[in-house]
Structure 1
Amino acid sequence: MLGIAAAVLFFIAFLINAADLSTNEVFASVNVMLIGLTLLALHVAGVGSGLQARPRRR
């Protein structure tokens, strides 16, 4: 799920950069891209992947 959110944020950052839109500093292209990279790093680290199966103890 975080990987999809990262892809959407990368696309938004691309559109802001390609269309040369003037936004405030919070929604600048680089800031949106950095949020996307953060979400991608969390996805790769396994955050948000759901519950993990525990091995049974005997």
Structure 2
Amino acid sequence: MAQLTLITGGQRSGKSSYAQKYATQLSSQPIYLATSRIWDEEHRKRIERHKADRMNVG
């Protein structure tokens, strides 16, 4: 059965790294859903880094 987990927290609180570690403990092929608005160039770069990190799982 599929499991859905909601992870919340403040900006730059480690949500993404926690969620990725947790997801890979549950499945070798996790599905991610992350939401955010791009506020500025620094934030866009962080989002791109998160996307790249997820592509390297496995």
**TM-score calculated relative to the size of structure 2:** 0.32
More helix by share: 1
Q: Which has the higher contact order (CA 8 A, sep 6+)?
A: 1
Give TM-score scaled by structure 1 length. Answer: 0.32
Indicate the structure (1 or 2) with the bigger Cα radius of gyration.
1
